[in-house]
Amino acid sequence: MKYDDASWHYGGNFPKDLPDEAGATHIAMFVAWAVLNGLAGEMHTEHFADQMERLKVKKLTPREWFLEVCDGKFTDDDLNGAGNLFAARYYDAADTDPVSYMADYSDTFPDGETLYSVPDGWDTYSAIQPKIDRRYQTWLGAR
């Protein structure tokens, strides 16, 4: 199952002044969080362990890593069982759901012209990480 794809974003109503890679930033922040928090699928742990280590030590930004390893596509292969259950509830939630990744992302970065204007980097990751952490802990408690 495919949760998201950067091409779905830059292929549509996308700001002309931004590079296509900007369509991957919001996706990359979530997938990097999942990988860094023990929710990586076998694909990452067995086939891309070197790249995963480079992400952990911040030699790659979340978007650089995501584009290199996932080719801009977020699928169920990226996550383990628990990761997919969480992603189905949180990442894949309707945009109108107040408990959704996109709602949290928009609330975290309200000053951006669009969600695509948020820069790639560890500062962006550090800003969204606490919200994902809280949502994950709440989700774990409700299971």
- Residue 129: burial class (beta carbons within 10 Å; 0-12, 13-18, 19+): middle
Which residues, other chains included, contact 74 with Cβ-Cβ below 8 Å and sequence gap of 6+?
2, 3, 4, 5, 27, 30, 31, 66, 91
Look at the chain and report how many structural domains it folds into.
1
pLDDT reported for residue 95: 67
Whole-prediction pTM: 0.95
Residues 41-78: tens digit of each pLDDT? 999 999 999 999 999 999 999 999 999 999 999 999 99
Range of the domain at 79: 2-142
Output the tens digit of pLDDT for each of the chain's 143 residues. 999 999 998 877 788 899 999 999 999 999 999 999 999 999 999 999 999 999 999 999 999 999 999 999 999 999 999 999 999 999 988 767 778 999 999 999 988 778 899 999 999 999 999 999 999 999 999 88
